Each structure stands twice: as C-alpha cells, then as structure tokens.
Copies of this chain bind each other. A is one copy, B any other.
Amino acid sequence: MRKGSSHPTLLEVARLAGVGVGTASRAVNGGTNVSASTMRKVKSAIQQLGYMPNHAARVLKGGRAKTVGLLVPSISDYFFASCAEAAGRIAKAHDSLLIVAVTMNLSGAEISSLDVLMRHRPDGLLIVPSDPDNKELARCVRNSAVPVVTFDRPLFGSGCSSVITDNFEAARNATLHLIEHGYKRILCFSSEPDLYTIRERLRGYCQAMEEAGLPSLIDTSLDDTTLVSRLLAGHLKGRRPPDAVFTLKNSSTSAVVQALHQLRVSIPSRLALLGFDDFELAATLHPSISVVQQPIEDLGRKAAELLFEQLESHHGIKGFRKMKREPVVLANRLVLRRSCGCKEELARKDL
C-alpha cells in the first residue's frame, strides 16, 4: 500500500523485485519462462506491495477482458435472477465477471443498455431479447464483434446461437393433460400476449384444443388481481362457464389463485388450475398448484457454457460465427399436484 493508498503498478513490483518489467509480467501470468528464484522474488514483491493487476490496462492491450455481459428484462424477477446467478457461477469458474444490464422488456432501452454494456468491451454477451424479431437489435448483435448467446428467447436474423425451452410443446402437453382429466372448457389466461414465450405457449394451447376438437377460450388481460377477479366472476356466470384455467405465466397464476380465493371458488372441483412456471409456494398453497416447470438454472448455465465454448474456440480466429446455429432446446417438466384434479402429488412427466 505505497504512495497514498493508490494502486501499485507492475513497474514498482519489478523494481522492488529487482527484475525487468517484462519478467514481472510473465511471472504474474502463468509464469512461462521464469526461473523459480525469480518467481519467488516477484511473488514476494507482489505480497509486499499488495499489487493487483490493472484490468483496464490489460483490456486496452488487447487481452481478454475476462468479462461477459448479460442483458435481461429484469433482475428482481425470480426467473431471470436464477438464470443470472447460474450464468454468474459459470463465468466465475472461467475466472470472469458477469456484468448485468436491465432492460425492463422495453425494446428501446435494449439498444441503449447494450451500448452501456459494450463500453466495457466484454468478451461475449448473453441476451434475453424482448422481441425475437427486433431487426435493430439483431443488427447490433451481428456487428458487435463478439460471440453472443441468446436464451429463453431466440433472436431471429442475429446469427447467434440460443438456448430455449420448448414452450409450445410444454403448453400443448399441459393442455392435453387437462383434457385427459375430462375438462372441456379450458380457459387460457395470461397477460403480455406479445411476448415470444407467451405466444408460443398460446400456440401450444390452441394446438392441443384443436387436436381435441375443443374451442379455444383465451383471455389476455392484465394480472391485476381485482380485475382478474371480476373477469373470472364474469366467465363463471356465463351460460357455458369454464371448468379449468391454464395460466401462461407466473404472475397470472398468482393473480388467478388470489382471485379464486376472493371469489371462494373451490379448486379443482369447481375450476381446475394449471400454470406455466413453478413458484416457491406452489406446493404449499391449498390446494397445491400443478405447473409446468422450466429448468430455469439450466437455461442460464447452458447459455453461459455455450458462450465460453465459443470464446475458447474463437481465440483470435474470426471464425466463431460458424458454430452450432440451431437453438439448444431444453425439456420442460409437468409437475402434477392437486389443482388440476390429480390425486397423486408426486407424479411428474418429462416433456
């Protein structure tokens, strides 16, 4: 801690160790072509001075920044937070730091946040695109000069690989499960129908209903509990009320559960319920809620692993573009609890 608590430089280390700056540098990194005694001297000097390599200088010189950027809609959301944590673990294992920028699902904020991220010249990028068809973002990604992996949602025309779950198939199977239970009027409920994942789930639901020759009943309102409460009351008072609800996202499931509580509608006898995305208390609620469970952490983990794979193979070669381009698709799981009418709490179906 010399010189007014400012950071000591490699030059100072070298001087103290009585060696050249080049030698000191080699000693710091790996130690190729450094004699044991020199190594010792340098190490001791580093200890003494509390030397810490200046990241900025390293990056400037053209080395790995040991940094990967993550662009997500939100970080307080459990889903993305878990992905981020998993990705962060992988990054750490590669001695890198994950830096996070939040977009709030606003396509506008996306580009500007990406800019802030790029200022730090990360080695690679992990992105959850708000809109898979965002041409502007795709363009940014294409000439970003670093490998990019998308997860949870693809980014068409970006040419980067992605890790997603099969939302369509999972929703289809979940709906099919409700149909097997004998429900015929299955209401599909969700907010934010414009989101890619929601659209896919909606497709899956429609496909299943069509296969079974049943009419689709769709309501894409907000997740506001009192609103949902009023809507459901309306649906239930109709001449042909629904006998089951399939919610397409976490917050919708919560909202419906709360609404049904308020309305004193019993689950599943009066109305069955199955939701997309698991949540902490799904098993604790009364009755427990059946859900499609996504391999949340695997999403973040896989995406990060894929990115580092590209990073390794990149290594100076500009050819990192020609990696596996088809998206990696992870399997979802149908966790059957009570709210759909199942008796056995433990039945699970891999999808």
Give A contacts to B, CB under 8 Å. Answer: 1, 4-7, 50, 52-60, 65-67, 74-78, 81-82, 84-85, 88-89, 92, 97-102, 115-121, 143, 145, 254, 257-258, 261, 279-281, 283-286, 318
- Residues on the B chain within 8 Å of A257, using CB: 281, 284
Name the CB-closest residue of B to A75. B85
A7-B115 Cα distance, complex, nearest whole Å:
13
A139-B120 Cα distance, complex, nearest whole Å:
29
- Residues on the B chain within 8 Å of A284, using CB: 254, 257-258, 261, 285
A347-B82 Cα distance, complex, nearest whole Å:
34
Contact indicator B258/A280 (Cβ below 8 Å): no
CB proximity of A232 to chain B, nearest CB, Å:
15
- Residues on the B chain within 8 Å of A143, using CB: 1, 5, 50
Contact indicator A76/B76 (Cβ below 8 Å): no
Known A261-B284, A281-B254; contact A85-B78, beta-carbon cutoff 8 A? no
> Which residue of B58, B65, B75 is within 8 Å of A75 (Cβ)?
B75
CB proximity of A134 to chain B, nearest CB, Å:
18
Contact indicator A97/B97 (Cβ below 8 Å): no
Known A98-B100, A99-B99, A286-B261; contact A52-B115, beta-carbon cutoff 8 A? yes
Contact indicator B84/A52 (Cβ below 8 Å): no
Copies of this chain, how many?
A: 2
- Residues on the B chain within 8 Å of A88, using CB: 75, 100, 102
Please give me the 5 A-B residue pairs with the lowest Cβ-Cβ distance, nearest first.
A56-B59, A55-B119, A56-B60, A76-B85, A81-B81
- Residues on the B chain within 8 Å of A283, using CB: 258
A278-B4 Cα distance, complex, nearest whole Å:
45
CB proximity of A217 to chain B, nearest CB, Å:
24
A136-B59 Cα distance, complex, nearest whole Å:
29
- Residues on the B chain within 8 Å of A117, using CB: 97
CB proximity of A335 to chain B, nearest CB, Å:
16
A156-B68 Cα distance, complex, nearest whole Å:
33
CB proximity of A58 to chain B, nearest CB, Å:
8
Contact indicator A145/B285 (Cβ below 8 Å): no
A67-B100 Cα distance, complex, nearest whole Å:
12
Contact indicator A145/B97 (Cβ below 8 Å): no
A209-B232 Cα distance, complex, nearest whole Å:
46
Contact indicator A118/B81 (Cβ below 8 Å): no
A57-B280 Cα distance, complex, nearest whole Å:
45
A85-B84 Cα distance, complex, nearest whole Å:
13
Name the CB-closest residue of B to A70. B100
> Which residue of B5, B81, B98, B280 is within 8 Å of A145 (Cβ)?
B5
Contact indicator B101/A97 (Cβ below 8 Å): yes
What are 12 A-B interface contacts by the 8 Å CB criterion?
A7-B145, A52-B115, A52-B118, A56-B65, A66-B119, A85-B102, A97-B119, A97-B120, A99-B100, A258-B284, A261-B286, A285-B286
